[in-house]
């Protein structure tokens, strides 16, 4: 049972969504709906990933981790503890709301959960932007006045992005994603979002969407000015590193290989460009050495107990999310 775990996507209709998951990633989407999110890996009461293929086919992620905790998460992970990462694809056909996630210091008080997240830009139309953090020198008083005046856009930090760029967005950083971005979001397992501004938009029901101004003002880091993204590069390296997780970008030419050793920690594999094949090294002498093919858009969980050789079938970029169990060793 050392195969990678792959899951059925959970598609979410959003007022700002579109059809890019269909056109760019070849997904089959619900007809006619604006699909803004695909929840790729999730372990929450209200949403459960279902395993697709392999010995655990049809089982929920929660059920698998409860039954085989040490195998997938390592010997020190509590069986009842939820999987700590949530992986999503975001199709931002229109601009998202200006929002913030509560930092740990106030999350419980505000009846929410902290959420630090990383955005990897898989595709971006020319001129598309991200909004993260405040413009240099903006104060809380100026921000509150701008909310009332409807001029909040002038208070926040805009920057252009292109495919391959990424940025780590910490809890407490005010942020929004501009129209025209296809993003892989890797985040803490949380679903708490406070909207501070929504550009005058109405929801799918035609009514103004709910804002959470008081909670947002309580959550925003008023010392966070103009953070910089990690720009695309043709080399491997760490693109995100925080207390909650880290992400490595692995760039492979056709035929090149990367190796993941067993009994270190669980990892999430995300193919953002090209095609790779993951071979379970424990099957090296078996009759079925073909391994698991992962194409652009695929996400999979590599268990603690598994060792893998990743071979690029084409030039490929693989993101490896790790260090999310708290001790780097399961």
* Tokens standing for residue 303: 């268990």
Contact 269, 294 (CB under 8 A): yes
Strand order in the sheet with 257-260: 257-260, 308-312, 275-280, 292-295
Active-site residue, selected from the candidate residues 195, 248, 267, 296: 195
The CA R_g of the chain, rounded to the nearest whole Å, is: 20
Q: How far apart are CA 120 and CA 298, in angstroms?
A: 14
What percent of the chain is helix, strand and coil (3-state, nearest 5)? Answer: 15, 40, 50
Told to judge if 195 belongs to the known catalytic residues of this protein, a careful annotator would answer yes
* Helix extents (H) in 108-203: 140-149
- Active-site residue set: 195
């Amino acid at each position: 049972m050392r195969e990678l775990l792959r899951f059925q996507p959970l598609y979410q209709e959003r007022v700002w969504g579109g059809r890019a998951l269909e056109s760019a990633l070849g997904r089959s989407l619900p007809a006619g709906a604006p699909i803004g999110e695909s929840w790729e890996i999730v372990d929450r009461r209200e949403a459960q990933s279902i395993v697709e293929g392999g010995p655990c086919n049809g089982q929920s992620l929660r059920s698998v981790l409860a039954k085989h905790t040490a195998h997938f998460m390592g010997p020190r992970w509590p069986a009842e503890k939820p999987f700590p990462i949530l992986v999503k694809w975001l199709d931002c056909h229109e601009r998202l709301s200006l929002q913030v996630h509560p930092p740990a210091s106030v999350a419980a008080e505000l009846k929410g959960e902290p959420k630090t997240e990383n955005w990897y830009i898989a595709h971006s139309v020319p001129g598309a932007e991200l909004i993260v953090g405040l413009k240099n020198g903006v104060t809380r008083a100026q921000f509150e006045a701008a909310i009332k005046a409807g001029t909040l856009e002038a208070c926040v930090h805009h920057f252009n992005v292109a495919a391959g760029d990424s940025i780590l967005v910490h809890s407490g950083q005010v942020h929004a994603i501009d129209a025209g971005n296809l993003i892989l979001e890797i985040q803490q397992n949380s679903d708490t979002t406070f909207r501070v501004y929504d550009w005058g938009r109405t929801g799918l029901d035609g009514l103004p969407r709910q804002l959470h101004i008081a909670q947002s003002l309580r959550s925003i880091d008023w010392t966070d000015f103009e953070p910089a993204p990690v720009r695309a590069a043709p080399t491997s390296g760490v693109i995100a590193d925080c207390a909650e997780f880290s992400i490595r970008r692995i760039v492979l030419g056709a035929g090149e290989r990367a190796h993941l050793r067993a009994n270190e920690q669980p990892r999430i594999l995300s193919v953002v460009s090209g095609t790779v094949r993951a071979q379970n090294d424990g099957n090296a002498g078996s009759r079925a050495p073909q391994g698991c093919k992962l194409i652009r858009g695929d996400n999979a969980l590599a268990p603690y107990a598994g060792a893998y050789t990743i071979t690029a079938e084409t030039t490929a970029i693989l993101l490896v999310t790790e260090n999310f169990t708290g001790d780097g060793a399961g």
